[in-house]
Structures are given as structure tokens and as C-alpha cells.
Amino acid sequence: MENVKDKINWRQFGKHWIVVFILAILAGFVIWGMLSGGSWFREWQAKRFAITIQNRLKDIYSKDKYGGKTPEETYSLFISALEKGDINLASKYFVLERQSSWVKILQDYKNRSLLSNFISELNNNTKIRGEVQFKRYPSGNWKINNL
């Protein structure tokens, strides 16, 4: 009778070790998948993040109401804002990436009483007008890209 009992215990013992062995193999596959698939997951996250940023920028650009329907109108609106001394409004006629730097530049001109000279130069110098680069936004408005 003891032999039968010993055989049953060995069978149960063997079954437990088979389960442990299978679980260890599965854990190995999971770890291997995480290590080898980690770069793929990071790339997927980076692409998803880039798409999100692009969509947000597209939304911002399409809602931007500053600028004219033509480059010439944008240039006139820019000069008009400068003539009124509204530095913040004038900077909004530039592309978003350049607005903060132009606020600083125009504020510096205003502080040093050079703004009227700058406006005169913009109005009278046809060479400057010819070199101004514009960019059309998804909103349909034109922005100053480079001055």
C-alpha cells in the first residue's frame, strides 16, 4: 500500500514541476518579448507623440486669425500696428516660431526711440519689401516668415 502512495506523491510532485517549468518558459518569453519589442514600443510611442503635436500645431495654425488675405495686406497690417505703437499686435503678424523674438526686437526699438525710423525704412525701402518672405497658414492668412 505504501508503494501506491509513494507513486501518487511522485505523480503529483511531477505535475507541479511541469507546471512550474511551463510557467518559467512563459515568463522567459514575456521577458524576451519586452526586451526585444521595447524599441518597437518606444518608436510607436514617439510616432504617436509626434502625430499629436502635429495635430495640435495644425489646430493652432488653422485658428490663427492674425494676418491678411494677401502678403501685401499682412505687411500693411504689420506697419499699421507699429505706427500705433502696438508691439504685441505687430509681432502677431509673424509666424508663430518668430513672434517672441520679434516682440523683444520691436520693444528694444521702441525703448531706444528707433521705432519711427524702422517704420520709415519699412515704408520707403523697396529692397526690404522685396526681401520679406511670407508663409500661408491653414487659416488662409499670410504671415511674415522672415524680415
pLDDT for 41 beyond 80? no
pTM: 0.64
Across the range 120-134, mean pLDDT stands at: 82
Determine contact, residues 67/94, Cβ cutoff 8 Å: no
Across the range 63-81, mean pLDDT stands at: 92
The pLDDT tens digits of the residues spanning 82-115 come to 999 999 999 999 999 999 999 999 999 999 999 9
The burial class, CB within 10 Å (0-12 / 13-18 / 19+), for 110 is middle
Strand partners, 133: 146
Residue matched to cell numbers 499686435:
89
Q: Provide, rounded to the nearest whole percent, the portion of the chain with pLDDT above 70.
A: 87
Determine contact, residues 110/87, Cβ cutoff 8 Å: yes
Most confident segment among 5-14, 31-40, 127-136: 127-136
Determine contact, residues 87/78, Cβ cutoff 8 Å: no
Average pLDDT, the chain: 85
* Domain boundaries of the chain, sorted by first residue: 1-63, 67-146
Task: Compute how many other C-beta atoms are within 10 angstroms of the C-beta atom of residue 1.
Answer: 5
Query: Rounded to whole angstroms, what are the CA distances from 137 to 95, 107, 113?
Result: 9, 25, 33
**Of all helices (H) and strands (E), which one includes residue 26?**
helix 2-63
